[in-house]
């Protein structure tokens, strides 16, 4: 690559902060812009007040900046077709177009693609009426798995043994997918792809439930860690061969190639590996942990994927050790989060740093909570024990009186006690 890269990252959360930060450290990257960004990204990049889901505005900003690459972070802009608008303007974009992003935008569509591609997944029924819903609940029985077919910011899934709760959630959805329950620990595995070539990342595990011991309602994610010492040694190759490549081939066959980040949420069940869901973008908070360990320059990697030259890049390079991210959320999350609480960040160290997600700056310069998940505290170390220590020391040094966090992120894995209750 000869010309230094100018990169525009789209989004406002912790994922986008982590992506922009990693991209800014790529020696081939000259300038990083974020739209709209947050107070954290303003510390090392240039923020722009552009609506992330406005494709025309994003494309216009990219052209104005003479951007070489646009990286679309969240799912809503992808499903809205922002990547299409950027490509139509003649600018390289990392992220699938509207049609390909349906892999995340519609769980029913994802099931259809998986069936056609022969990808192992849970048996499921797509329901639109109460009669269909009740029949599916009776067919699969408890534990019930009920998923809103559309985007729900990571909170559209109810997993419960309470049939009444399952029915209530299903009836609140316009269209719902009801699945068989999959036993076994869950794994997140991301693959960077140009539609043909894939570069799968190391597996990570996130924690969806709001409370310690995997209790309480689902959230967008309360923490994550990587690597997974308990996972099969060949899991990356296995997932690439049985999930990623068949799915990419099926999307090409349909005339809607998938280029960007294909996120496979997996369950390692007693019957083998099964896909729980697909996402069309980097997962949050797993991304914060993964990028803390990735040695491959991220700007060049994403540019290669966006320009169809990923096959020319070497396999991904990873640092030694482990990374753990602990999410600090605002009190009341995931229901009515308490916004406006003041935050005083701990200084970053060589073993821990803070990613901002739902934050804002008051006129007097005070940093404050402005969302449900507010901060991602990333710790690194030689192993999960050290990475946890670093992350939780940084959490303790962070002054966020109106916030809370789980205390057990990666605990069982660090003790070599992973089992089906740690998710």
Locate 277 and state its tokens: 């869901």
Percent of the chain with pLDDT over 70: 97
- Residues 203-250 have pLDDT tens digits of 999 999 999 999 998 899 999 999 999 999 999 999 999 999 999 999
Q: What percent of the chain has pLDDT over 90?
A: 83
| pLDDT higher than threshold 80 for residue 14 | yes
Looking at residues 299-313, what average pLDDT do you find?
98
- C-alpha dihedral sign at 49, 305, 26, 350: positive
Buried b (16+ CB within 10 A) or exposed e, 43-61: eebebbebebbbbebbbeb
Task: Tell the burial category of 99 from Cβ atoms under 10 Å away from its Cβ (0-12, 13-18, 19+).
Answer: middle
Instruction: Using the predicted structure, report yes or no on whether residue 2 has a pLDDT greater than 70.
Output: no
**Rg of the chain on CA atoms, in Å:** 20
Q: Bridge partners of 160? A: 144
β-strands 69-72, 93-94: how paired? parallel
Cα 423 from chain centre? 15
Q: What's the CA gap between 200 and 196, in Å, rounded?
A: 12
Please say if the pLDDT value at position 1 is more than 70.
Answer: no
Phi and psi, residue 333, nearest 5° = -65, 140
Mean pLDDT computed over every residue of the chain: 94
> Residue 422: what pLDDT?
39
Predicted local distance difference test score (pLDDT) of residue 390: 98
> Which tokens hold the place of 92?
């390289």
Quote the pTM value: 0.92
**pLDDT recorded at residue 101:** 95
Are 299 and 26 spatial neighbours (Cβ–Cβ below 8 Å)? yes
Across-strand partners of 342?
368
DSSP structural state of residue 397: T
Say if residue 411's pLDDT is above 80: yes
């Amino acid at each position: 690559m000869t010309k230094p890269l100018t990169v525009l990252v789209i989004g406002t959360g912790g994922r986008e902060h982590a992506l922009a930060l990693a991209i800014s450290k790529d020696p081939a990257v000259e300038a990083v812009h974020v739209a709209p960004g947050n107070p954290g990204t303003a510390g090392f990049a240039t923020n722009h007040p552009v609506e992330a889901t406005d494709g025309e505005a994003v494309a216009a900003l990219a052209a104005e900046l003479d951007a070489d690459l646009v990286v679309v972070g969240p799912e809503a802009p992808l499903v809205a077709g922002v990547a299409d608008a950027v490509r139509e303007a003649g600018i390289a974009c990392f992220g699938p177009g509207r049609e390909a992003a349906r892999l995340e935008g519609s769980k029913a569509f994802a099931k259809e693609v998986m069936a056609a591609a022969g990808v192992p997944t849970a048996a499921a029924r797509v329901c639109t009426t109460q009669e269909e819903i009740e029949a599916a609940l009776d067919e699969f029985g408890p534990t019930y798995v009920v998923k809103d077919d559309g985007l729900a910011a990571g909170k559209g899934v109810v997993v419960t043994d309470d049939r009444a709760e399952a029915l209530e959630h299903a009836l609140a959805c316009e269209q719902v997918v009801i699945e068989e329950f999959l036993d076994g620990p869950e794994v997140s595995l991301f693959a960077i792809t140009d539609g043909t070539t894939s570069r799968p990342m190391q597996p990570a595990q996130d924690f969806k439930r709001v409370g310690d011991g995997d209790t309480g309602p689902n959230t967008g994610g309360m923490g994550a860690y990587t690597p997974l010492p308990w996972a099969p040694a060949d899991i990356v190759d296995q997932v690439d061969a049985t999930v990623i490549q068949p799915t990419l081939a099926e999307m090409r066959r349909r005339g809607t190639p998938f280029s960007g980040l294909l996120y496979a949420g997996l369950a390692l069940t007693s019957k083998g590996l099964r896909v729980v869901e697909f996402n069309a973008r980097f997962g949050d908070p797993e991304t914060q942990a993964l990028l803390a360990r990735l040695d491959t320059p991220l700007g060049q990697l994403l540019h290669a994927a966006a320009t169809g030259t990923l096959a020319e890049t070497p396999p991904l390079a990873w640092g030694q050790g482990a990374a753990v991210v602990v999410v600090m959320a605002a009190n009341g999350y995931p229901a009515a989060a308490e916004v406006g609480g003041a935050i005083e960040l701990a200084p970053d160290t060589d073993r821990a740093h803070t990613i901002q997600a739902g934050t804002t700056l008051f006129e007097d310069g005070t940093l404050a909570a402005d969302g449900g998940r507010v901060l991602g505290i990333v710790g690194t170390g030689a192993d999960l024990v050290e990475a946890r220590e670093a992350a939780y020391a940084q959490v303790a040094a962070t002054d966020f009186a109106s916030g809370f966090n789980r205390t057990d992120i990666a605990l069982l894995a660090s003790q070599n006690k992973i089992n089906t209750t740690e998710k």
